Chain A
Amino acid sequence: GQQLNQSPQSMFIQEGEDVSMNCTSSSIFNTWLWYKQDPGEGPVLLIALYKAGELTSNGRLTAQFGITRKDSFLNISASIPSDVGIYFCAGQQDNNNDMRFGAGTRLTVKP
């Protein structure tokens, strides 16, 4: 299946810093989503993007659906220790239910 290239693979930052991660693909996606997974838990939906160019915020999180429909980024501002976890991007093509995931960005926040 179509792979999503997510970067960076891991990040180690200081509390209070801003974070940026992104996902790219060689194919067009109609939906981009960002999930966070805490240890021992299932992925939790953070932001869903349904329209090219869309910029959506959820508290300190901001995500954008790239205008080419082949990429998306997630920013976290003023990071806090509870932001620690694995962040996954996911994309859906052709309005079907087949959702593809990136490999995840592992975020560590030092107090």
Chain B
Amino acid sequence: DTAVSQTPKYLVTQMGNDKSIKCEQNLGHDTMYWYKQDSKKFLKIMFSYNNKELIINETVPNRFSPKSPDKAHLNLHINSLELGDSAVYFCASSQETWAQYFGPGTRLLVL
């Protein structure tokens, strides 16, 4: 049973394209997150959603937009992809402020 799943696992695309990454959790958690991990493995939070409300939005370009159709899903849309967007993106979920559980990651490469 996969607790937090993401698709696709790998995404290679051209600069300027628009792409989406999907995330689903079957843990019944009420909060979901998106993180970006750079080439030095540093993890930085991008967004979190609680009951369909955005409660954290770090200094992320507005080309990135999270969309949550329901409590179990949080998708990440990226417009006009840039070379610097290449990274690994992780989805995570938690129940309130308890420990976060991570998905397997989506490796994005922008050419």
Contact = CB atoms under 8 A, between A and B. Distances in A.
Interface of A: 1, 31, 33, 35, 37, 40-45, 48, 86, 88, 90, 92, 95-101, 103-104
B99 A97 contact: no
B56 A98 contact: yes
A97 B43 contact: no
Interface string B2-46: 001000000000000000000000000001010000001111110
Given A41-B105, A43-B90, A48 B99 contact: yes
Contacts of A44: 102
A101 B104 contact: no
Question: For the complex, would chain B's binding face be called helix, strand, loop or mixed by DSSP majority?
Answer: strand
Contacts of B48: 97-98
Contact of B55 (A42, A45, A97, A99): A97
Contacts of A98: 45, 48, 56
A97 B31 CA distance: 8
Dominant secondary structure at the A interface: strand
Given A43-B102, A96-B56, A99-B45, 9 more contacts: A31-B97, A31-B99, A42-B90, A88-B43, A92-B97, A97-B31, A97-B48, A100-B45, A103-B40
A100 B98 CA distance: 14
B64 interface: no
B58 interface: yes
From A31, A99, A101, residue with most partner B Cβ within 10 Å: A99
A59 to B, nearest CB: 17
A71 to B, nearest CB: 18
Contacts of B65: none
A42 B102 contact: yes
B96 to A, nearest CB: 8
A99 B100 contact: yes
